Structure 1
Amino acid sequence: MTILRIALPTPLRRLFDYLPPASGLESIPAIGVRIRVPFGRRELTGVLIEVAQTSEFPLTKLKPALEILDQTPPLPPHLLELACWAADYYQHPVGDALHQALPVLLRKGESDQPSPQLRWHAAPGISSDAVAPRAKKQRALLEWLLQHPEGLDNPTIRSAGYSSAQQKLLSDRGLIEERAAVASETIATPAQTELLRQPLLPLNAEQQQALEAIFERDGFNPVLLQGITGSGKTEVYLQAIERVLHQGGQALVLVPEIGLTPQTVSRFRSRFKVEVQVLHSNMTDRQRLDAWLQARSGQARVVIGTRSALFTPLKTPGIIIVDEEHDTSFKQQDGFRYSARDLAVMRARAENIPLVLGTATPSLETLHNAQSGRYRHVRLNQRAGNARPPGFELYDIRQQPLNSGLSDEVVRRIGIELQQGNQVLLFLNRRGFSPALMCHQCGTVIECDRCDARMTLHRTPPHLHCHHCDHQRPIPHRCPSCHTSDFKPQGAGTERTEGVLQQLFPDTDVIRVDRDSTQRRNAMQDIMERVHDGRPCILVGTQMLAKGHHFPAVTLVVILDADAGLFSADFRGMERTAQLILQVAGRAGRAERPGQVLMQTHHADHPTLIQLVNQGYEAFATAELKLRQNSGLPPFIYHALLRAEANRRGRAEAFLSTLCSALASGELNLPGVSWLGPFPATMEKRAGFFRAQLLLQSHDRRALQQLLSSITPLLEQSPLARQVRWSLDVDPVDNH
């Protein structure tokens, strides 16, 4: 008897046995194919993990599968194995992990065959003279299509700066037409076509050394490319990819934020003639599947995506690049809590290809791996071209008058830069108008009903917003305590700072960049175009401004609250603060004009700030690693955080205490594994739930994994498990 052992997207940590479909099997299905099965009253799409001859359940209890959906597995064997390994390592149900490794439409059981690819072509017999010379853009587009008889798709045309309106005018006149791509047209090899639209830029000595280091040995070669902001890391990426493309390979580039993808994609598409595809959560399900299938078939030669793009199959993998590797958004914070950066290392090893981890401010884990010899460490210490690193200045604001967080010195310096025709960037990592609304009569601060947090005041439109649970409510007319209506905003967010700057500099464009101002489709792209026209302006925003943007006309960066994070309860607080400061500072002076960074602080004599601005990130990171080693903290020890939450206070702690009792009794304890807790989370109440956590740690990764594997069934069987939501976070980056 053939038993199909299937991983299903459920919270249960097990495989499910099914009989073959009632119609029978023509042959034994391949491991990794999708199979549609009945599950209770529902139908689910699962992945075949094993074909067995026996089952622990009576055959009469087993249901037949409904349909085998694939002839060949959607994921190649090594990616299927990687997803299963990740599920095991991060202690997540394997069915759900495999579910998340596939595009949404494949999870729903749709075909894994690509839809026809449409491309624009010049109509037969047409020349560029068909368009009048005064219609420059239309004529240029037609000439470009005439140069590309294989046709061009819409994303490529958009990235070159041509609009849909220009396309439509040519199409209405019958000068261009859209046709389905012929199979022979879809995959261009280096022998058939030139790879580059633009010539390679000359590399300086450091960049050339970095490029050679990436390929200094065949196969798996992990390289930490640590380059100061503006040092030309992206050009090294582009030239490394060009080498891989010439050898017939494909490249996978992971970026931390969706907001970074438009400019990154534009730069890659303007450099390469080959198909460049994008994968991120703002795409439709069909767009994501088509891009995924093009990568798998080899048609898409360069794939750029956020965290989930890690599982995208490549027909001929050649290189993996993780840009801004330190960014915490590479770690999934809920559900399947995997680290895309760490799994990229595993994938590159399995595919035996080079791996580049690029950043100006490496995470301490990556830096430790480089110092231990696991990664090759390459540095870019000079800016590309004639640009010089910005100068730093700590400005002590103790006992200084502030106007909504702005000192007189900051206002004066902004005025000087604007008069000289430059642009200014102000960084404040608090969105909204004000972080708190307080009653001036009794001191009551309006708090969120569902979280241990104050509600942020927004003015456009007017409302109170909790940025932890997303709860929103109208601004109250009267104080709930003393019933007066004398409310005063406390502190400044980006919205308030924007308003003050607009009053101080009424003739200057003030542009706010935060999650609220960039919600509209293409909003970030529109903002970049306004900045890149070069006119004097003031940018004010959150950490979205720190993420790899190129602002050639920005000469002054002002960090309004350099102290944020200096005294964090999280042991990673100093690391995050240092990374953010240097990433933001790197936006200044990236072209010919010199840059300056002015940091407002109440702690101008703080030794860490002084070390950071005088000696740079690596001196700070080396000192921080020594502190971590002396304190027994990651990366010198391995952590797992067991989180629990319940709708009643104390219930989550009680649930975790049952595990502590088992650990203390020796029933589960392994040598070298210790625990702390249970204790309330830093923010105990969030979104209406009371949260507690238990920290498990060990110097032996294997011992910790063995313990985690043994406690998950115990937790699932706990009498309190139905009243508590719990999750395991292995290698957590957020201890809140």
Structure 2
Amino acid sequence: MRPRPPEEEFLVITSPRLAAAPPHENKKPERVAGLLGQEEAGEAQVTDAARVKVLLPYPFAGAFDYLAPPELALQPGDVVMVPLNRRAEVGVVWDEDPALPPEFRTPPSPPVPAHRLKPVSAVLDVPPLPVASRRFVDWVAGYTLTPPGLVMAMALRLNAYDPVRAVVGWQRAPSPPEDARITPSRARVLAAMPEGAAPRETAELARAAGTGAGVLRGMAEAGLLVQVPMRREAAFHRPDPAHPDAAVLSDDQQANAGMLRRAVHERRFSVTLLEGVTGSGKTEVYLEAVAACIAEGRQALVLLPEIALSSQWLDRFTRRFGTPPAVWHSDLGSKQRRAAWRAVAGGEAWVVVGARSALFLPFTDLGLIVVDEEHETAFKQEDGVTYNARDMAVVRARLSQAAILLVSATPSLETLTNAEAGRYRRVTLAARHGGASMPSVAPIDMRDAPPGRGLFLSPVLKTAIDATFARGEQAMLFLNRRGYAPLTLCRACGHRVQCPNCTAWLVEHRARRILTCHHCGHTEPVPPKCPACGAEGSLTAIGPGVERITEEATAAFPEARILVMASDTLPGPHAAAEAVRRIAAREVDLIIGTQIVAKGWHFPHLTLVGVVDADLGLAGGDLRASERTVQLLHQVGGRAGRAEAPGQVLLQTYTPEHPVMQALIANDFASFMRREAEARRPGHWPPFGRLAALIVSADSAEAADETARALGRAAPRGEAVTVLGPAPAPLAILRGRHRRRLLLRTRREVAVQPILREWLAQVQPGRGVRVDIDVDPVSFL
């Protein structure tokens, strides 16, 4: 969390509503609390009308009661300063949501006696949180069983209330004194500012006159200049829905775009699945819905699963509308985030593209939400407030009476089930844009065509890459594993180098000569000898990562220009934009990447995709392993053949008979998902039932086991309820904490929140033990 600004800084940004306040209101917040403390409050005979609830960004059960000084005229949503213990804290004036489902409500706390209440100290000069934002906070908190203050902190974004300095400029005084002394420097200033000229900022005017700011201040003292407030330029320009560079859509695209535009024009809540094969132009189609939203005078939000994707998307948007949108993601600096937050709150940001946290921005009139690549697990936040941005986006749209589009070539089973049940509308783009055809998909049976000893690329794949280069086309190798090797093993004693903080092997990154844990970030140098037996030169890398594949590809194709696309090599949107530029300019022959290459890129000269280990995602007991593997590999393969030249996808696999491989080879995603649904329905697994996980973590295994066993004994029972566990989590130790899991499964019509709340109330976790709740888990680690 960012350090809080000093209290004096808040006084600079106090609302004009304090102008008529008594003198003591301009003192520090603690002083205000002292002057209007318990004794005075008790003597004032406070009524309920003077009581106000303030939600603070901390894990409290709910809002706190404070006194509302009449001169502040407090309204729900106001961002305020309040005393808390001996500190001054920022919070939001909160109100009750009468429409919040009963199962999301927590029992109210008894009211605090009036004589114990402290007054609100000040109102900050920040746009208030709109009612839809407040209701969204309540809903997310209730659904995920998260303290509402922690959810509100995501909506408030603590740096959004930093001071905003007024912009002032200089203008000629209307009646300058006749005897004012005019020096050469002052003459140049007056020459740079003719009679009736618009105000100019200090730096601009001083530069034009070739002088310093001190001369301007001296002229003001002499009565020659006056300072005037200047209008702050809007941070973002309004995108033009009728911009002349709009793409020419096919008949099929036009028909689907028309349906999406009508959904926006209805100005009411609706959910539409936009399903289209890779390369069908889904982005251009849903940008027409964005255009309709802008024409309606409402704001639009587009959620992307990866920050890196924003580079190519922003280029498309700017070509379509003539100006870029507002951007929101974790790589922005505090100044950019503050400007974006205020522009959204002030209605100046018409379109926002961002990561999942953009859902919590304070939109004044949200008319459209687009969730691009809605099937992506990156939309699930696992740390802090645990929520699925795709599902919460549907709630956000309902609260704003907005349309929402869920966009994917490989929709999640949850979304497909809702569409087939009629809860979601469905529009489909069945063909690629511009006459391009879908790539052919073929397996390489690694039992019949194995790579050489110590290698990982089949001769069949290498031959296909050579042929691709000979035609002057680009190829891609995909392996969803970072680093050089996932395991370092001692040949002498069999020791496996493991993370000291997690039950995970350390991954070798040979280029940096380190071993690292991708779960906790622990890093150490590659040891010269085995840490267990001391044998020198006995450590060997087991298995491939993208670095090792790059090493092999460099040896096999020495003339090829190779680019690696992974989170290690593309740390942000700027690096991704440069990579895209190089690929489009044909400065790259072979792209080697992890899952980041599967997410919506358009590489027109790429015709061959080779999947190094197609079986990788099928290991383990994950409920969604097959679904995710089909989605990922279908998306990766969809990068090939998106222009005139046909595409080819080769899957290196040891199980070509597996249903996942057969679905990819036949390009029959729909049939595979129907079979997946039939397998889940009898056991009431999602989306035909509900899941919630309890994750117990502690510094010691004994403490974790004790609380986990107590939860197991108190587990709810019933015909529609099943509890699995407790059991050690697959990552039994994470960041030094021992972890145990319990899984609650219910039928779809059963709300899990009251069950979880009653269950947790029966068990008091041990000292230092934490119980985290994950409603609708995506990961089972």
The reply to whether TM is greater than 0.5 is yes
Query: Any unmatched runs of 5+ in structure 2?
Result: 1-45, 97-108, 170-206, 211-228
Q: Higher mean Cα deviation, 295-304 or 544-553? A: 295-304
1:248 partnered with 2:293: no
**Which residue is equivalent to 2:83?**
38
| Contact 1:612/1:619 (8 A) holds in 2 | no
Within 5 Å, give how 1:10-49 maps onto structure 2.
Answer: 10-20=58-68, 24-26=69-71, 28-49=73-94
CA distance in 2, matches of 1:48, 1:186: 27
1:728 partnered with 2:776: no
TM-score (norm 2): 0.80
Q: Higher mean Cα deviation, 622-631 or 511-520? A: 511-520
Counterpart code for 1:49: W
Measured after TM superposition, the shift of residue 328 of structure 1 is 1.1
**Which residue is equivalent to 2:451?**
401
**Which residue is equivalent to 1:204?**
250
CA distance in 2, matches of 1:117, 1:298: 23
Measured after TM superposition, the shift of residue 116 of structure 1 is 6.1
| Contact 1:104/1:285 (8 A) holds in 2 | no
Within 5 Å, give how 1:299-378 maps onto structure 2.
Answer: 299-378=348-427
Measured after TM superposition, the shift of residue 105 of structure 1 is 1.2
Which residue of 213, 225, 238 corresponds with 2:259? 213
Which residue of 542, 547, 556 corresponds with 1:495? 547
CA distance in 2, matches of 1:703, 1:510: 52
CA distance in 2, matches of 1:117, 1:687: 51
Count of paired positions: 662
CA distance in 1, matches of 2:162, 2:421: 46
1:479 partnered with 2:530: yes
Q: After superposition, give the CA deviation of every residue in 1:646-678 in whole Å (9 maximum; x if it has no partner).
A: 1111322321322332336xxxx5763331111
| Contact 1:279/1:306 (8 A) holds in 2 | yes
**Which residue is equivalent to 1:596?**
648
| Contact 2:56/2:91 (8 A) holds in 1 | yes
CA distance in 2, matches of 1:727, 1:184: 45
CA distance in 2, matches of 1:115, 1:359: 45
Within 5 Å, give how 1:4-83 maps onto structure 2.
Answer: 4-20=52-68, 24-26=69-71, 28-50=73-95, 56-69=111-124, 74-83=128-137
Structural RMSD (CA) = 2.7
Q: After superposition, give the CA deviation of every residue in 1:125-150 in whole Å (9 maximum; x if it has no partner).
A: xxxxxxxxxxxxxxxxxxxxxxxxxx
**Which residue is equivalent to 2:520?**
469
**Which residue is equivalent to 1:262?**
311
Counterpart code for 1:66: S
Counterpart code for 1:10: Y
Counterpart code for 2:721: V
Measured after TM superposition, the shift of residue 73 of structure 1 is 5.6
Which residue of 743, 750, 756 corresponds with 1:695? 743
| Contact 1:215/1:354 (8 A) holds in 2 | no
| Contact 1:331/1:733 (8 A) holds in 2 | yes
Query: Any unmatched runs of 5+ in structure 1?
Result: 119-170, 175-179
* Cα pair distance change 1:511/1:104, threshold 3 Å: same
* Cα pair distance change 1:710/1:8, threshold 3 Å: farther
Measured after TM superposition, the shift of residue 248 of structure 1 is 2.4
Q: After superposition, give the CA deviation of every residue in 1:156-177 in whole Å (9 maximum; x if it has no partner).
A: xxxxxxxxxxxxxxx99x9xxx
| Identical positions, percent | 38
1:448 partnered with 2:496: no
**Which residue is equivalent to 1:629?**
681
Query: Partner of 2:724: helix, strand, or coil?
Result: strand
Q: After superposition, give the CA deviation of every residue in 1:403-444 in whole Å (9 maximum; x if it has no partner).
A: 531111111111111111111100001111111111122222
| Contact 2:269/2:397 (8 A) holds in 1 | yes
Measured after TM superposition, the shift of residue 196 of structure 1 is 4.5
CA distance in 1, matches of 2:128, 2:399: 18
Q: Higher mean Cα deviation, 520-529 or 425-434? A: 520-529
| Contact 2:271/2:424 (8 A) holds in 1 | yes
Counterpart code for 2:130: P
Within 5 Å, give how 1:623-662 maps onto structure 2.
Answer: 623-662=675-714
Counterpart code for 1:431: R
Q: After superposition, give the CA deviation of every residue in 1:96-116 in whole Å (9 maximum; x if it has no partner).
A: 11111122313xx435x6976
CA distance in 1, matches of 2:321, 2:165: 23
**Which residue is equivalent to 2:150?**
96
Counterpart code for 2:141: A
Which residue of 557, 561, 572 corresponds with 2:624? 572
Which residue of 708, 717, 720 corresponds with 1:672? 720
* Cα pair distance change 1:117/1:564, threshold 3 Å: farther
Which residue of 312, 316, 321 corresponds with 1:272? 321
| Contact 1:433/1:492 (8 A) holds in 2 | yes
Within 5 Å, give how 1:222-237 maps onto structure 2.
Answer: 222-237=271-286
Query: Partner of 2:722: helix, strand, or coil?
Result: strand
CA distance in 2, matches of 1:14, 1:305: 29
Counterpart code for 1:81: R
Counterpart code for 2:82: V
Counterpart code for 1:376: R
Counterpart code for 1:203: L
| Contact 1:546/1:584 (8 A) holds in 2 | yes
Q: Higher mean Cα deviation, 266-275 or 77-86? A: 266-275
| Contact 2:489/2:496 (8 A) holds in 1 | yes
| Contact 2:691/2:744 (8 A) holds in 1 | yes
Q: Higher mean Cα deviation, 725-734 or 590-599? A: 725-734
1:543 partnered with 2:620: no
Within 5 Å, give how 1:142-157 maps onto structure 2.
Answer: none
Measured after TM superposition, the shift of residue 469 of structure 1 is 1.4
Q: After superposition, give the CA deviation of every residue in 1:269-291 in whole Å (9 maximum; x if it has no partner).
A: 12213562111110012211211
CA distance in 1, matches of 2:120, 2:297: 40
TM-score (norm 1): 0.85
**Which residue is equivalent to 2:480?**
429
CA distance in 2, matches of 1:233, 1:587: 14
CA distance in 1, matches of 2:360, 2:168: 23
1:524 partnered with 2:579: no
* Cα pair distance change 1:77/1:536, threshold 3 Å: closer
